[in-house]
Structure 1
């Protein structure tokens, strides 16, 4: 059979001495380079079909490794090409940490095609011994996502991480402050420069970054509304403004007890601006800033919260636990679950119901009291 010529870049086919047909095409590799890949066929048509598939993948920019890539090659490529352009910086930083600290040392030498269930099990056991079950569960999620991307690019035929269950994690027992403890904290924080920030965190359940990302243009004191649009995040050496966790903004009615602290914060910031003069740099119009107008470090807000709580003799909780307490207080006040979900900014109501609601002992006693009265009334009826 006469040799058929293909366009430039489409590879070439020829017949070997053993009668089979061979084709070679330059294809992109996961690391960004290009190498020549060889395919074979018993007939010219079979070999040409394989050649066309390689050309199709090349034109679509899909890597086709000449050999099965190692995890140490694929994982960095996946982080750079899949995660970094599409996910938040915080997500990328978290994934990169798990890849660097746990996945690469444990299974980096394994190739995508030869990675087996037993390898994943050993990796999870090692991470659990080194860190914790929660860390191992997160590493499992990162690996599963990376292998899912490899499956989509047809580098592997199956995702072995899906065949291995993630470690079970014992949920951390959450004990948010009671109503009396919350009031005691706000009283103790009244003289603190970040008092207004704590009021918003406690009454509205705002996330730490959302509190610090508030701008004056997001607040309408006359209409008593607050819009959550951005958050302040710290990733390694960068402090930056980002969209909210689920990339959606929300508008929340402001309780009356938030109005006076916000007016006080505006007056206080105006005084700081005058004192700072040319050093003032609040270009973003943030509500909470340093003395020179710069955004506040998220960790500093948490430190102040914990310091005030400890000084007031209250049980130690995280700033984020105040968000849990806000949800529980809203439910205790009879607020509908859907409304609580919108206030807290959850994407799914299951999160609101399963994680952020804690029934206090007084509420449990009241519920049991209702049951007791109902049963006593039923038993008291004549036959």
Structure 2
């Protein structure tokens, strides 16, 4: 077998040693790829030739590549979004947007752990462009999502033999940032019982009483705006939660509920049923008055001309009512938390609370949605009195 290592003489008379070796297929084009290696001494060339052949036989060899981080991100997105919902796909793309901005042009084989760590620092301090003051930091959750997706991107690079190791594997969100995020989350408290009553008393005199009640009996905002009159049995007092209408990049996406458990039928409290009946009657009058100009979508939550609401409009209208009712401004999701917490803290079995929320994981409901408040803790104090005398 001829010696694969050849001596070559450069223009200045220097002798170097070179070989050409097959290193598999290009991960981007699929074409056969050969590598030319040049060393100062024949001994170095022989050692490198032996190393490459051994790693090729073991399936561990990674050929030098000029592939940029953004190219590997593109490849991962194609693979990761084949069978996911539009909202999930958009979340993946959004998570990778920060990686593209900071590291996109970087050759992926030159990416270092320090650069990934610097990406997270930048995100936590000044990466924000929308949804707040530009130039400020993003949430810890956003950083965690981006870091998790980047790890998956680099794992793909390892599988496709572009990388030897995942430099994002051991990068972590700083403890101080996590601590601050926990503090902010703790500060965001759902309404207590008195606040709910104050808000609903105020809403009872408005056209949106029924709509706000739906938001306060445990339905998600996307479920409220997706609700159709055909989903409500006004005679027997039940509501079927089957459709959601969510916003993805400003576009409304209509789809089934989040999970099998999310698709559920609920018995309506009498006050909600009565409000819905009144709301339905009012809506029928508006439809008759508008005539052909009415958009008969069949939705429960619509404008006077019958036009469907989006979740952002539902939030804006709710915030207006909170302001006029002089109650603490809270997210509609936190209003949902208030409902589920009240049920759990007042003797409703955990399985019922979880089913009402549309969750398949009971522990998730208790961990995320159930918040013991001062009123419920007082009940615990009264129980302790029985023991302590």
> TM-score if structure 2 supplies the norm length?
0.76
SS of aligned partner of 2:252: strand
- 2:79 maps to 1:82: yes
Q: Out of 169, 173, 188, which is 1:166 matched to?
A: 173
Distance 1:18 1:340, change over 3 A: same
Q: In the aligned structure 2, how far is the partner of 1:206 from the partner of 1:166? A: 33
SS of aligned partner of 1:170: helix
Q: In the aligned structure 2, how far is the partner of 1:129 from the partner of 1:243? A: 37
Distance 1:133 1:214, change over 3 A: closer
Partner of 2:109: 113
Q: Out of 264, 272, 295, which is 1:258 matched to?
A: 272
Partner of 2:42: none
Distance 1:85 1:262, change over 3 A: farther
Q: In the aligned structure 1, how far is the partner of 2:63 from the partner of 2:256? A: 37
Partner of 2:203: 189
- Deviation of residue 296 (structure 1)? 0.2
- Deviation of residue 259 (structure 1)? 1.1
1:168-317 correspondence to structure 2 within 5 Å: 168=178, 169-171=181-183, 172=185, 173-203=187-217, 205-246=218-259, 248-283=262-297, 285-317=298-330
CA offsets per residue over residues 43-80 of structure 1, 9 Å max, x none? Answer: 9xx89x97xx9xxxxxxxxxx9982522121223333x
Q: In the aligned structure 1, how far is the partner of 2:265 from the partner of 2:164? A: 46
- Deviation of residue 350 (structure 1)? 2.6
Distance 1:372 1:308, change over 3 A: same
Q: How many residues align?
A: 341
Partner of 1:91: 88
Q: In the aligned structure 2, how far is the partner of 1:66 from the partner of 1:292? A: 63
1:372-383 correspondence to structure 2 within 5 Å: 372-376=385-389
CA offsets per residue over residues 192-235 of structure 1, 9 Å max, x none? Answer: 333212111112x1111111011222222333322212211122
- Deviation of residue 125 (structure 1)? 1.2
CA offsets per residue over residues 1-32 of structure 1, 9 Å max, x none? Answer: 9xxxxxxxxxxxxx985498855877562xxx
Q: In the aligned structure 2, how far is the partner of 1:94 from the partner of 1:65? A: 32
Q: In the aligned structure 2, how far is the partner of 1:164 from the partner of 1:27? A: 29
Q: In the aligned structure 1, how far is the partner of 2:356 from the partner of 2:173? A: 32
Q: In the aligned structure 1, how far is the partner of 2:116 from the partner of 2:214? A: 44
Q: Out of 348, 356, 370, which is 1:357 matched to?
A: 370
Q: In the aligned structure 2, how far is the partner of 1:342 from the partner of 1:231? A: 17
Partner of 1:140: 147
Which sections of structure 2, spanning at least 5 residues, go unmatched?
7-18, 37-47, 127-136
Which sections of structure 1, spanning at least 5 residues, go unmatched?
2-14, 54-63, 377-383
Distance 1:16 1:239, change over 3 A: farther
SS of aligned partner of 2:215: helix
Q: In the aligned structure 1, how far is the partner of 2:319 from the partner of 2:332? A: 7
Q: In the aligned structure 2, how far is the partner of 1:286 from the partner of 1:115? A: 51
Q: In the aligned structure 2, how far is the partner of 1:154 from the partner of 1:194? A: 58
Alignment RMSD (CA, Å):
3.1
